[in-house]
Structure 1
Amino acid sequence: MLWALRPPPLLRPGGAARAWLRSAASAGVNSGQKSNSDSRYRDTVLLPQSDFPAQLPGRLQPQAELEIQQKCGFSELYSWQRQRKTKQEFCLHDGPPYANGDPHVGHALNKILKDITNRFHMMRGYKVHYMPGWDCHGLPIELKALSETRETQNLSAIEIRQRAKEFAERAIEKQKSAFIRWGVMADWANCYETFDGKYEAKQLSIFHKMYDQGYIYQDYKPVFWSPSTNTALAEAELEYNQQHVSRSVYIKFSLLKSPPKLTSVMDGSPAASLIVWTTQPWTIPANQAICYMPDAEYSIVKCSNTGEYYILAADRVESTAAILDTQFEVISTCKGVDLEGGSCAHPTIPVRESPLLSANHVTMAKGTGLVHAAPAHGMEDYSVASKHQLPMDCLVDEGGFFTEAAGSELQKKDVLKEGNEAVIQMLQAAKCLLKEEKYVHSYPYDWRTKKPVIIRASKQWFVNTENIKAAAQEALKKVKFIPASAANRMLEMLDRRTYWCISRQRCWGVPIPVFYHKATGESLINSQTIENIIKIVEQHGSDAWWNLPIDQLLPKEIVAKAGGKDVQDYVQGQDILDIWFDSGTSWASVLEDQRADVYLEGKDQLGGWFQSSLLTSVATRKKAPYKTLVVHGFTLGEKGEKMSKSIGNVIDPDVVINGGQDHSKEPPYGADIFRWWVAESNVFTEVLIGPVVLNAAKEDINKIRNTLRFMLGNVAGFNPETDSIPNSEMYVIDQYMLHLLQGYANKVRENWEWNICRRNIYKSVLKTQLLNGTLPVMEGTSYVIAMRKGIVIYPYISFSESVFRNGWIKASPVWKKPGLEEAVEGACALRDSFLGSIPGKNALEYEVVLIIEPGLFFELMEMLQQEQSSSVSQLNEIMMASQTTLLTEEPRDMAAHENISKGTFLINLEGGDIREESSYKVIVLPATKSKCLRCRKYTSESPLIPCPRCTDVLAGK
């Protein structure tokens, strides 16, 4: 009825001659375990044969992997697949790791994930395009290179650049060797490096296009500034210290001019003061205004301790009074707009007047609802100053010290240290300090030096992201995100970004191609100047900016055309481009006009490389550089803690693979286990690593190897072209396994899932067939499964005999048969009931009676066992009993039997059109016959002779 299972021939009998090995009948492949069978029958048992090792001792694993890497042509694999004739191409654009140190587990997570992705697509028939690259410029490399040099004070820019380049080159070689050792497939002789002259020229071409379109401009603005490295920073170069401690202060600003709308309220009252709160006292000397929220309510209060009158936000009256250890009596309440027109005396500079100005950035979450504005030290403050044309003078130099303009009391003092203290003392002396307290909060730090940054106004080069943002957001909506939740995070980050500071005050990088007039300071930059520099850089590299004389960098014809008189009146600028602009233009060199199928990086790149690549691509070619973004988490210690050298929990990839000095504490795992750690992790969250995690990965690999070894051992000498049998001659469980394999192949292909072992039931049935000499019927299925499952796992653990050139699973649609899964799953349900009723006991010591009501379920079981009782049927092999009896009604003499389990099984076929639930009983009885000395089943008529099936096998041998 349901069993129209007559597909075309897949395998036919006549497998190769099998050797008779001297081992136990029930042992694994060449296990060497002692036999429980009579020694007379040792040589009559079919045993798997395979030289595929179950596992290697840890000390031999790394060496074996290196030998396989050489023998299997790993180095030629990338070039081989590039030469294939196929129209399908898959491009994964490699985000450049930073060339500033040794490879770490974060590199491993990223590179192995990329390699798994590439190998999967290669085996699916795609021609993979993958060019590894390195980010080679920037401050961290410059600082590390200088740390290796004793005398750094008198080094010229070109000498610093040479040392930085040498350092980067050494780091690249270290990282490249590690990536190759991890089994990453690429043409390692052809990589991109951001210090290559041709790459730098492409980058300057993007700069040129963006400048011509008005996206790049120079301006005097407050930017994040690192006093520890003397340079501007982008937001992506910041880390936020959640435990930073600031010296916060409550300051009173005395009213000089009462707001006109409050004149009647204040008439006759003592002069009032505004209470302002700040966590950065050092910015007070740069104060130019006090800002209020126009729609908020403000109160005029009287202090119970001093009798003074203060103005602050109505919502902050009680909390502020508590902090100042006093009580406030509310005299009157007004709207923020009523403060318009008033002004205050500056607390430390008597001649300065600070107007009261409306601003929407004022919040009521903390403080007093009144914010002091220092335009040189705040982004929002700058906007207020621009609107009202306030002074924006910066009183802090590149090193974070007060300048002469700040006054003699502050000059040359560090604003984050003694300068901060000096300002607090000045406030106290002026009797304007109401309260000082420590305040723990999140504060930006330089990601390289791990020291606090400040906001400082300076002349910088910017990308006006406000003008690109709308187009970038639209382009991003067409990009697929994995996981999908990352899309909103990136869109939100992009939405908050109004400009991007791309200039840096260092020398190891690509120069911004601008010249300045020595006398006036005016900049000279246009298409002619930029194009000339691009040609020079392409030919000589960016060192030419510091090496060549000014008249070669800036030809006199260009100067004359720009209205200048003499080339010698100009000097080249000393700023370099932000390294995010370096790496963000990598698509121009690697992809050219194409889009990558995938960018795959850590979640920090949502505000970094993903974003800089998007902005530069949309600005110059109106499209995103990628079709899909895959975002993974960070690596942590196995308890979820951040790894650091100070804690001593840093995991070195080389130690993971080759072991540490003491192998008992740091054993060598090899690269396959390292790769499996990546493959089995949920990479979309934080990824844990440590001894427990790695040992679990090792156990998984051993299980996989043992399963494959057992399957391969069953097909020793098997030739699929000559030893095939018709599918109709296969056992049902063979057909079932092929049925599962078809769905498994599709699932892996569609979802990149891996689920190595479906059920151990097939393995147990195979062992029985080894004993009974009927393996030729099943060895073809073993061959198919072993080969296909091997193919599935090879992208993840690549240090095995290479099958990459064989392609992906070629599953046959004829394997998919309705009813197969229900038949075997139903038998497994019965088996579970049986084994569950005899916990810890030998199933072969029992017989089972299955009582199934008439219907679909019974018909399915009949196909596994046609006779009423059998010790050799497919159903009995699955049950693992010595004999199985299949009935529709319970015999009267068994009604009172003690060991009876009951259950139901649901049949669901043809999408739910056929749906039937059947009840069953499983009755367990002690075996009535003797134990066979050969197969150990209780199916023999006498303990002295083999059972009928074993007798037939022996007669045939």
Structure 2
Amino acid sequence: RACRLPLRSPSAERRKRVVAAPPRLRAQLRLRAAGGWARLAASEANSRQPAAESREDSQYRDTVLLPRSRFPAQLPGRLQPETELETQQKCGFSELYSWQRQRKTKQEFCLHDGPPYANGEPHVGHALNKILKDITNRFYMMRGYKVHYVPGWDCHGLPIELKALSEVKGVANLSPMEIRQRAREFAERAIEKQRSAFVRWGIMADWANCYRTFDGKYEANQLRVFYKMYDKGFIYRDYKPVFWSPSANTALAEAELEYNEQHVSRSVYMKFPLLKSPPKLTSVLDGSSPASVLVWTTQPWTVPANQAVCYMPDSAYSIVKCATTGEYFILAADRVESTAAALDTQFEVMSTCEDLADGSCAHPTIPGRVSPLLPANHVTMTKGTGLVHTAPAHGMEDYNVASHHQLPTDCLVDEGGFFTEAAGPELQNKNVLEEGNEAVIQMLQAAGSLLKEEKYVHSYPYDWRTKKPMIVRASKQWFVNTASIKATAQEVLKKVKVIPTSAVNRILEMLDRRTFWCISRQRSWGVPIPVFYQKDTGECLINSETIANVIKIVEQQGTDAWWTLPIEQLLSKEAVAKAGGHDISDYVKGQDVLDIWFDSGTSWAHVLEDAEQRADLYLEGKDQLGGWFQSSLLTSVATRKKAPYKTLVVHGFTLGEKGEKMSKSIGNVVDPDVVINGGEDHTKDPPYGADVLRWWVAESNVFTEVLIGPVVLNAARDDINKQNALAAGDTLLIPQALPAHGA
């Protein structure tokens, strides 16, 4: 209230009295005047001054306004949390958001809240993100803007499903609806824990009106976006290799991977006997000595699915003679010395050419199968032999080569990562990453095709949820054709303000590498892909009539209706007739659900009040450069040809105060609740209160990794105490004696 008192310009008489003050006091006054307005000393602070000095200063008291305060300079740690809670309640913190929404102003600032995942306790990363958003919102509110900020939660997906099922015995016997119910209950509990923490941190919002991705209206809007993209040709179904998690039995998108830099693979050097010599090598290979193509791979389990061997066009390839066995091998000229060293032998170069076209070789383990030599630009000379074993069902580049040359894409691996019956009795039911890999290596050895096996440490994709290795596996999935969107997305992104500016290049690079986005998942907890399939042909049925009916039901009942209602209520006879079908009973409901990145990436369609609106700001951690920032951009550009945001702010991750990753085993995990309320032992974990937590965020350089720990928190507390001391009277601050209306 003191800060709202009108400033009065001191009279000439008062200014004379200030000038006439003793030298020491004049110096203090000049020093304090430089600070402008601040809270002034309380009577308790004045009483601490020596009596003589108090009498000396009292004659100048009426030269300035001296508001009085009962607020102490600082509180004992144990009282800080209690006082903060009392202040929040008495001062109506919960009503601030609604109050400012009622202001009569045309200026509005919209910060669209990226939904945190509803799968656990609130952590210090949440604190960094939410407090940063709150500081931003309050800044704009104080500038006279009406703030639009709707908090939300990402509620579907495998992590929630797995955690919910971990609490249940006999998971295999649960129906999809039982799984969904348990997952929903788990997410709701997590949301309440996180919501309570966010309120305690002082985050300004209408906490009674948040968005959740499992709400019926949210899901209906999401399906509207899905159909718009499908109708425009951006979404399609295809059989192609995707990242597959055997531990979770589902396809994953690239954004759901993490890479283990210390993964150990069993790599092999193997030979493919030459059946037909490339014309340019015919004169050298007279047929008197058998020759083989030399290949290296880190995934021996994919060899049974081999359909070709690829070489780099316009690169030199040599025929060499092995000094140990006398055999002839074909490999890249640039890889002769390194390969000979790896095989502990010497190679004599007999001839070199730059084209292996029209050559072919025999499959190393399957009699009668021919593997042609084909040119491919994905072949590199940095590792291996310069010749790449190609299994179209287990590699993205391999699939592209197979599509171009019309080779089969047979997948011999099931959803659990086991060889199928089609792989043969020696491999059937064996795990491809374990005993199946060993079995293939033994088959290579038995066929005389194995030259060397060795352990190879390299970066390998893991499922970021189960922390288990991935495989690449062909299956029928739904995809977003990002190749047809990304050019527009990149142009649109160049008009978005990105802070820091270096982050925009990373998003552009990620978009450039992305040719498709797999959006289907083989799980129960999610938004169903609203497609019906003809029983006999597997043909998809989705049109404006089918989707309109499904959306209407979902809006009223939520997506549980997809599992609980009979198909006759979801699919109308008119829609079947329009598609050329005869009877509803000829169709079945699809069982795939949408990727949660598609869930959260369509949040703009639900939260933004105007269908054409863009949020002023998206503010998230740097992990969202390939996640929410990108999925939001792709869905918005595909349906509206514009970005959903005007500005992106990207902050760093939280680390321990020594710059190390937080880990329970190290003991450096910082719990925001312990920061505020203290731990069991207050001498070890004192209660700092929410102000210190907020101060830590406000004073940090959030565009790098943000450090937190006891030393950092103690420094933040000391900073606050110093500020309180200044305000409470240890140092008197007075308004500048300048213009009539103040500093």
What is the aligned partner in structure 1 of residue 112 from structure 2?
93
* Partner secondary structure for residue 416 of structure 2: coil
What is the aligned partner in structure 2 of residue 509 from structure 1?
526
* Partner secondary structure for residue 53 of structure 1: coil
What is the aligned partner in structure 1 of residue 17 from structure 2?
none
What is the aligned partner in structure 2 of residue 908 from structure 1?
none
TM-score after normalising by structure 1: 0.72
TM-superposed CA distance for 1:502, in Å, is 0.4
The 5 Å alignment of 1:478-877 reads: 478-591=495-608, 592-710=611-729, 730=737
CA contact (8 A) 1:50 1:712 kept: no
The answer to whether residue 325 in structure 2 is matched with residue 326 in structure 1 is no
* Partner secondary structure for residue 563 of structure 2: helix
CA contact (8 A) 1:242 1:441 kept: yes
Match of 1:420 among 413, 418, 437: 437
TM-superposed CA distance for 1:593, in Å, is 2.2
* Partner secondary structure for residue 173 of structure 2: coil
CA distance in 2, matches of 1:707, 1:34: 15
Deviations 1:163-189 (A, max 9, x none): 111111111010000001011000111
The answer to whether residue 65 in structure 2 is matched with residue 66 in structure 1 is no
The 5 Å alignment of 1:41-60 reads: 44-46=56-58, 50-60=69-79
Farther-moved stretch of structure 1 (112-121 vs 520-529): 520-529
CA distance in 2, matches of 1:471, 1:374: 33
Match of 1:380 among 397, 407, 423: 397
What is the percent sequence identity of the aligned residues?
A: 78
Match of 1:361 among 363, 368, 378: 378
Deviations 1:477-519 (A, max 9, x none): 1000000000100000001100000000001111001111222
CA contact (8 A) 2:280 2:353 kept: no
TM-superposed CA distance for 1:9, in Å, is 7.0
CA distance in 2, matches of 1:364, 1:11: 82
Deviations 1:440-483 (A, max 9, x none): 11111111011111000000000001111111111101000000
- What is the identity, as a one-letter code, of the residue corresponding to 2:208? A
CA distance in 2, matches of 1:455, 1:640: 35
TM-superposed CA distance for 1:32, in Å, is 9.4
CA distance in 2, matches of 1:268, 1:401: 40
- What is the identity, as a one-letter code, of the residue corresponding to 1:319? S
The answer to whether residue 188 in structure 2 is matched with residue 169 in structure 1 is yes
Which has the greater radius of gyration? 1
CA distance in 2, matches of 1:463, 1:546: 25
* Partner secondary structure for residue 97 of structure 1: coil
What is the aligned partner in structure 1 of residue 209 from structure 2?
190
* Partner secondary structure for residue 295 of structure 2: strand
- What is the identity, as a one-letter code, of the residue corresponding to 1:250? Y
CA distance in 1, matches of 2:723, 2:236: 59
CA distance in 2, matches of 1:707, 1:253: 81
CA distance in 1, matches of 2:149, 2:274: 66
TM-superposed CA distance for 1:256, in Å, is 1.0
- What is the identity, as a one-letter code, of the residue corresponding to 1:226? S
- What is the identity, as a one-letter code, of the residue corresponding to 2:256? E
What is the aligned partner in structure 1 of residue 255 from structure 2?
236
TM-superposed CA distance for 1:44, in Å, is 4.6
The answer to whether residue 122 in structure 2 is matched with residue 123 in structure 1 is no
CA distance in 1, matches of 2:48, 2:633: 66
What is the aligned partner in structure 2 of residue 409 from structure 1?
426
TM-superposed CA distance for 1:639, in Å, is 1.2
User: Residues 381 and 318 (structure 1 numbering): CA distance in 2 closer, same or farther, change over 3 Å?
Assistant: same
- What is the identity, as a one-letter code, of the residue corresponding to 1:381? D
TM-superposed CA distance for 1:40, in Å, is 6.0
TM-superposed CA distance for 1:34, in Å, is 8.4
What is the aligned partner in structure 1 of residue 18 from structure 2?
none
TM-superposed CA distance for 1:671, in Å, is 0.6
User: Residues 712 and 357 (structure 1 numbering): CA distance in 2 closer, same or farther, change over 3 Å?
Assistant: same
CA contact (8 A) 1:480 1:628 kept: yes
TM-superposed CA distance for 1:520, in Å, is 2.2
* Partner secondary structure for residue 649 of structure 2: strand
* Partner secondary structure for residue 312 of structure 1: strand
TM-superposed CA distance for 1:562, in Å, is 1.4
Match of 2:275 among 245, 250, 256: 256
CA distance in 1, matches of 2:302, 2:676: 52
The 5 Å alignment of 1:447-466 reads: 447-466=464-483
TM-score after normalising by structure 2: 0.92
- What is the identity, as a one-letter code, of the residue corresponding to 2:83? A
Farther-moved stretch of structure 1 (431-440 vs 209-218): 431-440
The answer to whether residue 433 in structure 2 is matched with residue 434 in structure 1 is no
CA contact (8 A) 2:725 2:731 kept: no
CA distance in 2, matches of 1:34, 1:552: 80
What is the aligned partner in structure 2 of residue 157 from structure 1?
176
Match of 1:396 among 391, 405, 413: 413
- What is the identity, as a one-letter code, of the residue corresponding to 1:563? G
What is the aligned partner in structure 2 of residue 924 from structure 1?
none
User: Residues 42 and 676 (structure 1 numbering): CA distance in 2 closer, same or farther, change over 3 Å?
Assistant: closer
* Partner secondary structure for residue 617 of structure 2: strand
CA distance in 1, matches of 2:684, 2:180: 42
CA distance in 1, matches of 2:727, 2:389: 71
* Partner secondary structure for residue 597 of structure 1: coil
CA distance in 1, matches of 2:525, 2:386: 44
* Partner secondary structure for residue 94 of structure 1: coil
CA distance in 2, matches of 1:91, 1:41: 53
User: Residues 256 and 40 (structure 1 numbering): CA distance in 2 closer, same or farther, change over 3 Å?
Assistant: closer
TM-superposed CA distance for 1:13, in Å, is 7.7
* Partner secondary structure for residue 451 of structure 2: strand
Match of 1:291 among 300, 305, 310: 310
- What is the identity, as a one-letter code, of the residue corresponding to 2:221? K
CA distance in 2, matches of 1:40, 1:673: 38
Q: Specify every segment of 5 or more residues in structure 2 that has no aligned partner in the other structure, as ranges.
A: 1-6, 15-24, 29-40
CA distance in 2, matches of 1:40, 1:468: 79
User: Residues 386 and 44 (structure 1 numbering): CA distance in 2 closer, same or farther, change over 3 Å?
Assistant: same
CA distance in 2, matches of 1:331, 1:269: 14
Deviations 1:790-829 (A, max 9, x none): xxxxxxxxxxxxxxxxxxxxx97xx6xxxxxxxxxxxxxx
What is the aligned partner in structure 2 of residue 343 from structure 1?
360
Match of 2:494 among 456, 477, 490: 477
User: Residues 288 and 135 (structure 1 numbering): CA distance in 2 closer, same or farther, change over 3 Å?
Assistant: same
CA contact (8 A) 2:45 2:729 kept: no
Cα-Cα RMSD: 2.2
CA contact (8 A) 1:503 1:575 kept: yes
CA distance in 1, matches of 2:731, 2:11: 18
The answer to whether residue 312 in structure 2 is matched with residue 313 in structure 1 is no
- What is the identity, as a one-letter code, of the residue corresponding to 2:526? G
Match of 1:134 among 137, 153, 158: 153
CA distance in 1, matches of 2:626, 2:383: 28
- What is the identity, as a one-letter code, of the residue corresponding to 2:9? L
What is the aligned partner in structure 2 of residue 884 from structure 1?
none
CA distance in 1, matches of 2:530, 2:716: 52
CA contact (8 A) 1:50 1:713 kept: no
TM-superposed CA distance for 1:274, in Å, is 1.2
CA distance in 2, matches of 1:312, 1:14: 99
CA distance in 2, matches of 1:649, 1:430: 54
CA distance in 2, matches of 1:649, 1:330: 58
